[in-house]
């Protein structure tokens, strides 16, 4: 890494395409979004007025904004927890079986490739209160499923759809982690007479904890930012505000409500959150590479 | 195997099979639903076994028009999606490998600044800056064009990072040796770096292809000409049919067709896909 | 240097459609999917065939809010369509965007196109007319809420379709007793159960004549009538007389599947119901509270109108004007009305439909027109003109949902909705001084 080439103009030439694309399609629009956060404007952009921090102070005094933060946190942790737990279970099972491992793996990883919006549409159909097979089955079990009305059920629905897509990712990482554990360690524990269950908790799981931590961060980021399509295709944030996560709120206020000022202020806040999260993630990756 | 516990192995198989069934359930329902007439959806419970309309629906969706306000056939949108996904994947790889090369193997003023500028793109998802981005693309008259579909989405740093990480692991001796041999930066790039990154490129390609294929808010906004509609975005158009009669059977058929190519890529290039995931760690 | 990008550029250049046509192309963004969308294409195609100077090109841009947002984003980027279809709740936003819209009366005058606003049904155009009586946009698809009922289920419980909410109470209970899962459900809850409720009982929905007079308007739908109605519905929700089925018209599934015996929905839902209901159904007028008013007023409209947007070359507007005239022709209107279930916008189209015997052959289709045109609209039943109204409707949806789920009582929910909505109105007032 210390060895480099001395040329002067060449590195700039090499960087040029990416810098250009970044400047035109990222920096400039992002700058506009930040600027907008300090203005109040009509929808068509015919008149605009500098309002300073008013958009921010509105937000910070709005109980619904805090409610949305709460919803986002709950949603993200639910997706991360359920996704990690189920993926771990499946990965441990897949690691155990000798026969058919590749088939199992293949049949479990494909949902990663499905677009969030499509995942949303699929699960929406499954849970439609009047016609969805699962909703009807639940009704026959005595559970009155109506996610149009019941916020908790709506939340369950979006968590299921979001987790469904993410399990494959978690599964792959856990499986790789499990297969990297030296057999000798497990064998030693087995000779000591530890049951498979005990072996898992005392030997395997601690060794997986870096993977688990990494997946926790990744899943949180995923739930925070990449689930827009799922929410949009299923609940549109409802009922009430029960599934309106921050990213969806930005879109909803700015795009449906045409309140660009408030929406931009929310983007700026989000940007800061992403910034912090990215730095954490980045530091983690850096450390791993040096190690 | 450490010891034989047949009941435990059986249990493992059961759990895995249950997992597979749960994961595949929505696809099953979608497949079945696409073989029934549209009304079946509304009159009661979605049936769990195939109907007799499948051929008609699939043929119509694939070759004449997807329906629900989308007047172009799926095959055309598939080509659009393909062009967009390829342009995003290849474009991103091309610009990223060059800039990562510059950042790792050269020392020049403002190097870290450039690095951070590129790095910043990770911080703002496209949903959040979409109105100003739209304006930029419109000003460049790129609405309704493949360039407009792909270029703005190329502006993201994930791939640059991957290449940077990968280049950082290349031992300095290699560079030194190349310089002693009289290889210039270009030859070093072509003869050493590119061959070394071949699997990385392929793995990244798989991930970026999926990313590009699955875009939907952006194409939704910038296309008004249905010759540029992509498959995933058209689903959104189809389900937002207002006050009318949503033809769920054709939506389900289109949904399956829309997820097919990326799923095939994942399944067919499993090894590269896994490598891509582990590498990008995003 | 970067062959990939270059070749992508050339490729896209080669694939750009040839834009060198003799006729002027007029872009029309609309929100009509499904069968109505196909009809829209047909209307445009027929217009294109009828003359050779202009080509109207309809583009489906998703649901109403998506279409409106897309047009606004396009306007900001100077890429706006010539015509955009905007739902009724976007009216105030469009009206106040003086530099963005080309008022229809002005457009017709400038283009020298024959145009008399008196030919249009005032109950429809009232919504889209400014305080001086000038028509600002061209009504296209207007609808009004009616009550649909499942004849089989009603016969099973031996009840008549209810004319009033009092009768609904009784009918619902009888239906429940007869083993029907739910009495009625509703689409568009804010539009039907609050906006139209207020209009029908001659009660203000907002101050300043429901916003027609100025942008200073404040919401007023937390009055005794509305609170009473929503409390009653909450009670019904508990008893199964009413069941909430989701926002917009997601509740249709409950009616189609025979779960709910009745369904308050837009008159434009007719074609969907005809297609999807496997049972005989009837249409009757939207119920009212007999205890509150002897003779109910007209209901107000929903749906959308067409707005011409500023910033296009003048020859485009000639074409737009021609197209608007074409749309208003009795034959075109009557055809659209009969096909879609939207209201006719001119008296001539209504008369034509009548003389064609359409209403006799399709019982129930005239209900909406009669209900809509009965009596003279008062300031409370002319329509609503409130800024940020799309968002306000979302708020109402949210608050009502918390009533149906039993989290809040009607009074609290409506008070909160009014308070939250007023904040948006003040924002709008400030941004559109």
Q: Is A144 part of a structural domain of the chain? A: yes
Pairing of strands C138-143, C54-60: unpaired
Best interface-test mutation with B: which of C31, C32, C34 has the largest number of B CBs within 10 A? C34
Give the residues across from C59 on adjacent strands: C29
Interatomic CA distance for residues C56 and C45, integer angstroms: 8
B72 in contact with chain C, both atoms CB, cutoff 8 A = no
The pLDDT of residue B124 is: 66
Q: How far is B67 from chain C (nearest CA, A)?
A: 7
Give the mean pLDDT of B48-75.
78
Task: Give me the torsion for CA of C145, C146, C152, C153, rounded to 10°.
Answer: 70
Whether A256 and A238 have beta carbons less than 8 Å apart is answered as no
Q: How far apart are CA A178 and CA A91, in angstroms?
A: 8
| Residue A32 domain-assigned (yes or no) | no
C97 to chain A: nearest residue by CA?
Answer: A44
| C-alpha distances in Å from residue B40, one per residue of B50, C277, C283 | 12, 10, 23
> What's the pLDDT score for residue C18?
43
Q: Is the pLDDT of residue B2 over 60?
A: no
Q: How many CB atoms lie within 10 A of CB A232?
A: 23
DSSP code of residue C82: S
Half-sphere exposure for C355 (CA within 13 Å, toward CB): 9
pLDDT of residue B127: 66
| Position A38 in a domain | no
Residue B259 with chain A: CB contacts under 8 Å: 113-115, 118
Q: Per DSSP, which regions of C194-322 are E strands? A: 260-266, 281-285, 302-309
Q: How many residues does chain C have?
A: 433
Per-residue model confidence (pLDDT) at position C13: 43
pLDDT beyond 90 at C357? yes
Query: Residues B259, A151: contact at Cβ < 8 Å?
Result: no
Touching chains, B (3+ CB pairs < 8 A): A, C
How many other CB atoms sit within 10 Å of the CB of residue C158?
Answer: 10
Task: Report which DSSP code applies to C188.
Answer: S
Tokens 């290889």, located at residue: B183
Distance CA A48, CA A40 (A): 6
CB-based contact A42:B125 (threshold 8 Å):
no
**pLDDT digit string, tens, across residues C20-51:** 447 899 999 999 877 788 899 999 999 999 99
A151: left (phi over 0), alpha (psi -120 to 50) or beta: alpha
The distance of C282 to chain A (nearest Cα, Å) reads 22
What is the model's pLDDT at position C355? 94
User: Is the distance from CB of B134 to CB of B74 less than 8 angstroms?
Assistant: no
- The domains of chain C are located at 24-143+301-355, 146-299+376-431
Can you give the pLDDT at residue A291? 31
Token pair recorded at residue C268: 């434009």
Whole-number Å distance between alpha carbons of A222 and A169: 11
- DSSP string spanning C257-279? TTSEEEEEEEGGGHHHHHHH-SS
| Listed residue (C111, C13, C40) closest to C306, CA to CA | C40
Q: Give the pLDDT of chain A (291 residues) as one tens digit per residue.
A: 445 676 678 888 888 998 998 888 888 888 888 888 898 888 887 888 888 898 999 899 988 899 999 999 999 999 999 999 999 999 999 988 878 888 898 899 899 999 988 999 899 888 988 778 888 889 888 888 888 888 899 999 999 999 999 999 999 889 988 888 888 888 888 888 778 888 888 888 888 888 888 888 888 888 888 888 899 888 888 787 889 999 888 888 887 777 888 888 988 888 788 777 767 766 665 554 433
Of B44, B67, B236, the CB nearest to C257: B44
How near does any CA of chain C get to the CA of A77, in Å?
24
Residue A203 lies in a domain: yes
- CA atoms within a 13 Å half-sphere pointing along the CA-CB vector of B112: 0
Tell me the longest C-alpha to C-alpha distance in chain B: 78
**Interface contact C431, partner A, CB < 8 A:** yes
Residue of C nearest to A14 (CA): C1
In a domain, A96, yes or no: yes
Q: At C87, is the secondary structure helix, strand, or coil?
A: strand
Question: Which structure tokens are listed for C292?
Answer: 């509150």
Query: How many residue pairs bridge chain B and chain C with CB atoms within 8 Å of each other?
Result: 122
- ipTM here: 0.85
Count of domains forming chain A: 1
- Domain B51-280 in CATH 1.10.3720.10: yes
- CATH fold of C24-143+301-355 reads D-Maltodextrin-Binding Protein; domain 2 (3.40.190)
Q: What is the pLDDT of residues C189-220, one digit of tens each?
A: 999 999 999 999 999 999 999 998 888 999 99
Cis before B128? omega within 30: no
Distance (Å, rounded) from C-alpha A147 to C-alpha C246? 8
Query: In angstroms, what separates the C-alpha of B41 from chain A's closest C-alpha?
Result: 7
Chain C contacts of A257, Cβ < 8 Å?
388, 390-391, 394, 424
DSSP structure class, residue B227: G
- In this structure, is residue A268 part of a structural domain? no
Cβ distance A122 to B29 less than 8 Å, yes or no, reads: yes
Q: Could you tell me if residue A146 is inside a domain?
A: yes
Which of A105-114, B44-53, B265-274, C258-267 bottoms out in mean pLDDT, i.e. has the lowest?
Answer: B44-53
Q: Which CATH architecture has domain C146-299+376-431?
A: 3-Layer(aba) Sandwich (3.40)
Q: Mean pLDDT throughout C44-61?
A: 93
Subunit contact A255:C404, Cβ cutoff 8 A: no
Give the model's pLDDT for residue A4.
67
Contact between B232 and B80 (Cβ < 8 Å)? no
> pLDDT of C399-421, one tens digit each?
999 999 898 999 999 999 999 99
Alpha-carbon distance of A163 to A83, in angstroms, equals 5
Per-residue pLDDT band for C5 (boundaries 50, 70, 90) equals: very low
Q: How many residues does chain A have?
A: 291
A touches which chains (3+ CB pairs under 8 A)? B, C
Q: Are C60 and C33 in contact (CB under 8 A)?
A: yes
| Cα-based distances in Å from C261 to A28, C148, C159, C187, C264 | 56, 9, 11, 14, 11
State residue C57 phi and psi, 5-degree precision.
Answer: -115, 105
Structural contact between residues A134 and A126, judged by C-beta atoms closer than 8 angstroms: yes
Q: What is the mean pLDDT of residues B83-93?
A: 94
For A117-168, the three-class secondary structure string (H helix, E strand, C coil) is HHHHHHHHHHHCCCCCHHHHHHHHCCCCCCCCCCHHHHHHHHHHHHHHHHHH
Percent of chain C topping pLDDT 70 = 95
Please indicate if any CB of chain A lies within 8 Å of the CB of C110.
Answer: no
pLDDT of amino acid B243: 45
DSSP B105-173: HB--TTHHHHHHHHHHGGGS-GGGGHHHHHHHHHHTT-TTSHHHHHHHHH--SHHHHHHHHHHHTS-HH
Task: Based on DSSP, count helices (H) and strands (E) in chain A, helices before strands.
Answer: 14, 2
End-to-end alpha carbon distance in chain B: 33
- B131 contacts on C by Cβ (under 8 Å): 73, 76
Backbone angles phi, psi at C24, to 5 degrees: -75, 130
CA dihedral (C244, C245, C250, C256) positive or negative: negative
Which 3-state string (H, E, C) describes A186-229?
HHHHHHCCCCHHHHHHHHHHHHHHHHHHHHHHHHHHHHHHCCHH
Range from A54-58, B51-55, C356-360 carrying the lowest mean pLDDT: B51-55
**Is A25 inside a domain boundary?**
no
Which of A25, A97, A218 should be substituted to probe chain B, the one whose Cβ sees the most B Cβ atoms within 10 Å? A25
Residue A289: CB atoms within 10 A of its CB come to 12
Q: Which of B146-150, B218-222, B224-228, B276-280 has the lowest mean pLDDT?
A: B276-280
- Is residue B224 over pLDDT 50? yes
Domain that holds residue A114: 66-245
Which phi-psi region, left, alpha or beta, contains residue C45 (left: φ > 0; alpha: ψ -120 to 50)? Answer: alpha
Q: Which two tokens stand for residue C297?
A: 């007023």
Q: List all residues 6 or more positions away from A197 whose beta carbon is below 8 Å from its beta carbon.
A: none
Asked if C100 has any chain A CB less than 8 Å from its own CB, the reply is: yes
What is the reported pLDDT for B42? 64
Distance from C-alpha of B262 to C-alpha of B268, rounded to nearest angstrom = 10
A217-226, C79-88, C299-308: range with lowest mean pLDDT: A217-226
What share of chain B in percent tops pLDDT 70? 90
Give yes or no for a contact between B23 and A107, defined as CB atoms under 8 angstroms apart: yes
Tens-digit pLDDT profile for residues C94-142: 988 888 999 999 999 999 988 888 888 888 888 898 878 899 999 999 9
3-state secondary structure at position C115 = coil
Separation of alpha carbons C28 and A243, rounded Å: 34
**pLDDT mean across residues, chain C:** 89
């Amino acid at each position: 890494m210390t060895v480099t080439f001395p040329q002067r103009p060449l590195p700039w030439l090499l960087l040029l395409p990416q810098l250009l694309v970044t400047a035109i399609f990222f920096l400039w629009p992002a700058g506009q979004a930040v600027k907008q956060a300090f203005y109040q404007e009509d929808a068509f952009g015919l008149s605009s007025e500098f309002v300073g921090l008013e958009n921010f102070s509105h937000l910070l005094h709005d109980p619904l904004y805090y409610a949305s933060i709460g919803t986002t946190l709950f949603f993200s942790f639910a997706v991360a927890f359920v996704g990690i737990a189920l993926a771990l279970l499946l990965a441990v099972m897949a690691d155990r079986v000798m026969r058919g491992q590749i088939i199992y793996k293949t049949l479990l990883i494909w949902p990663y490739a499905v677009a969030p919006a499509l995942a949303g549409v699929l699960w929406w159909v499954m849970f439609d209160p009047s016609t969805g097979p699962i909703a009807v089955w639940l009704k026959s079990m005595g559970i009155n499923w109506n996610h149009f009305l019941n916020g908790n059920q709506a939340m369950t629905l979006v968590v299921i759809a979001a987790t469904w897509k993410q399990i494959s990712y978690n599964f792959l990482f856990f499986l790789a982690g499990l297969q990297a554990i030296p057999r000798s360690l497990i064998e030693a524990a087995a000779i000591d007479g530890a049951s498979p269950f005990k072996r898992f908790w005392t030997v395997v799981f601690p060794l997986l904890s870096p993977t688990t931590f990494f997946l926790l961060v990744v899943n949180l980021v995923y739930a925070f930012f990449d689930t827009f399509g799922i929410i949009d295709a299923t609940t549109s944030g409802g009922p009430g505000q029960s599934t309106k996560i921050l990213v969806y709120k930005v879109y909803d206020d700015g795009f449906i409500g045409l309140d660009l000022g408030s929406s931009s202020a929310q983007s700026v806040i989000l940007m800061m959150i992403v910034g912090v999260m990215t730095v954490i993630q980045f530091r983690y990756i850096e450390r791993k590479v040096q190690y | 195997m450490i010891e034989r516990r047949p009941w435990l192995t059986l249990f493992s198989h059961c759990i895995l099979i249950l997992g597979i069934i749960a994961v595949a359930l929505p696809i099953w329902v979608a497949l079945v639903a696409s073989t029934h007439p549209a009304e079946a959806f509304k009159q009661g419970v979605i049936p769990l076994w195939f109907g007799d309309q499948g051929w008609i629906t699939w043929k119509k969706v694939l070759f004449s028009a997807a329906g629900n306000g989308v007047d172009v056939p799926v095959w055309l949108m598939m080509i659009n999606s393909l062009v967009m996904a390829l342009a995003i994947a290849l474009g991103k790889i091309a610009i990223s490998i060059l800039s990562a090369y510059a950042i790792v193997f050269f020392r020049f003023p403002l190097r870290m600044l450039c690095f951070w500028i590129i790095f910043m793109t990770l911080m703002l998802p496209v949903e959040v800056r979409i109105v100003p981005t739209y304006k930029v693309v419109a000003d460049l008259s790129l609405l309704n064009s493949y360039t407009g579909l792909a270029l703005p989405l190329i502006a993201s740093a994930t791939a640059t990072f991957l290449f940077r990480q990968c280049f950082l692991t290349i031992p300095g001796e290699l560079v030194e040796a190349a310089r002693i041999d009289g290889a210039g930066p270009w030859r070093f790039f072509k003869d050493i770096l590119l061959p070394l990154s071949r699997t990385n490129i392929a793995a990244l390609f798989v991930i970026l292809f999926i990313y590009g294929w699955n875009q939907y808010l952006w194409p939704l906004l910038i296309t008004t000409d249905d010759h540029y509609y992509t498959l995933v975005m058209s689903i959104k158009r189809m389900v937002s049919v207002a006050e009318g009669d949503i033809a769920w059977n054709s939506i389900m058929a289109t949904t399956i067709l829309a997820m097919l190519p990326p799923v095939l890529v994942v399944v067919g290039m499993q090894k590269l896909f896994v490598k891509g995931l582990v590498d990008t760690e995003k | 240097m970067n062959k990939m990008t270059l070749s992508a550029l050339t490729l896209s250049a080669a694939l750009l459609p040839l834009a060198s046509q003799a006729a002027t192309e007029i872009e029309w963004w609309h929100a009509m999917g499904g069968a109505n969308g196909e009809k829209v294409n047909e209307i445009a195609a027929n217009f294109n065939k009828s003359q050779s100077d202009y080509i109207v090109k309809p583009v489906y841009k998703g649901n109403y809010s998506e279409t409106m947002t897309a047009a606004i984003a396009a306007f900001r980027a100077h890429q706006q369509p010539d015509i955009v279809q905007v739902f009724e709740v976007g009216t105030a936003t469009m009206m106040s965007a003086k530099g963005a819209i080309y008022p229809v009366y002005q457009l017709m005058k400038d283009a020298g196109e024959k145009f008399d606003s008196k030919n249009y049904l005032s109950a429809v155009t009232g919504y889209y007319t400014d305080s001086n009586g000038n028509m600002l946009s061209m009504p296209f698809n207007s609808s009004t809420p009616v009550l649909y009922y499942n004849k089989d289920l009603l016969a099973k419980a031996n009840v008549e379709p209810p004319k009033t909410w009092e009768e609904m109470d009784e009918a619902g209970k009888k239906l429940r007793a007869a083993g029907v899962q739910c009495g009625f459900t509703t689409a568009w809850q804010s539009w039907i159960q609050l906006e139209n409720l207020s209009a029908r009982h001659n009660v203000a929905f907002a101050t300043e004549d429901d916003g027609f007079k100025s942008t200073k308007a404040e919401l007023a739908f937390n009055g005794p009538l509305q609170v009473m109605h929503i409390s009653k519905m909450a009670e019904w929700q508990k008893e199964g007389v009413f069941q909430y089925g989701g926002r917009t018209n997601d509740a249709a599934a409950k009616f189609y599947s025979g779960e709910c015996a009745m369904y308050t929905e837009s008159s434009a839902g007719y074609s969907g119901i005809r297609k999807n209901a496997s049972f005989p159904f009837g249409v009757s007028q939207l119920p009212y509270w007999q205890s509150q008013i002897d003779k109910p007023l007209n209901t107000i409209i929903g749906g959308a109108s067409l707005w011409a947007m500023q910033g296009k070359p003048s020859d485009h507007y000639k074409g737009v004007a021609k197209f608007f005239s074409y749309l208003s022709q009795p034959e075109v209107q009557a055809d659209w009305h009969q096909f879609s279930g939207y209201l006719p916008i001119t008296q001539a189209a209504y008369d034509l439909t009548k003389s064609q015997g359409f209403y006799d052959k399709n019982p129930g289709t005239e209900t909406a027109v009669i209900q809509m045109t009965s009596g003279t609209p008062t300031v409370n039943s002319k329509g609503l003109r409130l800024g940020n109204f799309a968002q306000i409707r979302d708020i109402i949806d949210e608050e009502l949902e918390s009533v149906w789920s039993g989290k809040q009582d009607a009074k609290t929910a409506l008070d909160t909705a009014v308070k939250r909505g007023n904040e948006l109105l003040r924002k709008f007032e400030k941004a559109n001084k």
